[in-house]
Structure formats: C-alpha cells, structure tokens
Amino acid sequence: MGDGFGPGLVLVLLAVAAVVVGVLLWRHAHRTRADLARLAERDGLVPTVMPLGLTADDLAGRFVATPHGDRRYGLEYAVAGPLTVRLAGDDRTVDGAAFRWWSEQRRTNHNLNGGTSRSYERVRESVAVVRLPTAIPGRVVVRPESLFGQVGLTRGGQQLESAEFNRRFRVEGGDRRLVVQLLDAAVQHELLEAFRGRSIELAGDVLVLGGRASRREPGLTGFVGELPVLRADAARLLGAIPPAFWRAVGLADPGRA
C-alpha cells in the first residue's frame, strides 16, 4: 500500500466536507428565519430592506456607522417596528430599526519580493436607527476618539468639562450651545459607562447608534440576538438626554399638544 491519500479518497473527503458545511449553513439559515419570525411575533419587529424608509444608497457614507467603503456596501438582518422611548419625562412611540451594515474596504498586501496586490475585506457594523418626533437643527456627532487623540496628540472637536470624556470621545457639532445642552454631565457619564467605542449621530429627525450591542439576547441565533438589544440601547440613550435639549429643539409637550 502506498503512503498518503489517493486522488479518489481526497475527492470523497472533499465531498463529505462540502455536505457537512452545506448542512451546517442550512441549519443556521433555518434557525435564523425561525428567530426572526419569533421577534416579529414577540416584539413586532418586521424584516425590511428599507429601515425607516432608508435604502442602502441613502445610508452609505451618510453616517459614521454606515461607511461607503471602497467597493460594495449593503445591509443585512434589518428589522423595524414601534419602539417606546422616554423623552423629556414622557413615553412616546417612535419607529426604531436595527440591522448589520457591511462595506468592503480595500487592503494593499505586500509580498517578500517587494510586490503589492490588492484585496477587499468585508467590514461589518451593528446599527440602530430611530425616527425622532422632532428635527434636530444641524448635526451632532459623537464618535470614539482616535488612539492619537486619546493621548492628546490630535484631539479636536468640541471639548467639554470632563477630561476623561474628551479622551474617549470626539464631539462634532456646529451649534456649541446645543452640544452643551445635549451632553450634560449625566449624559457624559452614561456614555462613558455604557457606550464606549460606539458612535452616536443626531441628524435631522434621525438618531443613529453604531457599534456592537451592549449584550446579546440568549436563545437567538448569531447576530439576531443583537437586534432587540440594539433597539433597547438606543431607547436607553434617548432616555438619558436631558429635557432642556428637547425643549431647545422644539419638542412639544404631549400634554399641551
């Protein structure tokens, strides 16, 4: 008997491996569909290709959490449904969506002979989007500070009272008064405690929260377990925003409306 595997045995092993992988992929897809149906029945989260009426082209490059990338982009696992949020002390029902955004980033590879080649890596981001009951003038962006910014070399944007907050987050907004009303001491503490490494944008009547969910709901398959938590994280963030900010942007008191 010769040493090693013969061509026939190699083909058999490859065929068996392909069948195993196919079965695993089918089981994962089946569980994902079942879990999405469970979320639709339990939480009213309906699968969609246009969260809050926004297409992938509408989202691409518009927010920190939805970069355009260098080639292709899109969204997957998108669900949307009513979301109860507490704004200025009152519970309101708004539209809230969650999904995973992907974009392809170009990578330049160098070999030992000094040559280069180009490849594309698919980068994914967890995103929650909420339709606000009022429009925010301008745009406020709170994103993680860069490594150089954390050590004070390239720090920019709006600087607030908390040195720790300034080290962890970069704040951009044209209206300084509005930024200060939004990011009071309590909100800064909340972001440092629960939203490190995540991006927050208020633009028009939309809140976009990017970054991995604070946890994953057990019993749900893969990324589906992040979907309800992403929406809950967005609701928690909105509930922390002080009433003075909402009054400043013209949110009507439902008791007087």
Residue 110 pLDDT: 82
113-161 confidence digits (pLDDT tens) = 878 888 999 999 999 999 999 999 989 999 998 765 555 545 567 788 7
Binned at pLDDT 50, 70 and 90, residue 24 comes out as low
Tell me the CA distances in angstroms from 213 to 128, 174, 179, 232, one per residue in order: 9, 28, 24, 9
Cα–Cα distance between 106 and 137 in angstroms, integer?
A: 35
C-beta atoms surrounding 113 within 10 Å: 6
Domain residue spans of the chain: 1-43, 45-248
What would the pLDDT profile of 52-88 be if each residue is shown by its tens digit?
999 999 999 999 999 999 999 999 999 999 999 999 9
The DSSP call for residue 133 is: E
DSSP track, 11-79: HHHHHHHHHHHHHHHHHHHHHHHHHHHHHHHHH--EE-SSGGG--HHHHTTTSTTS---SS-EEEEEEE
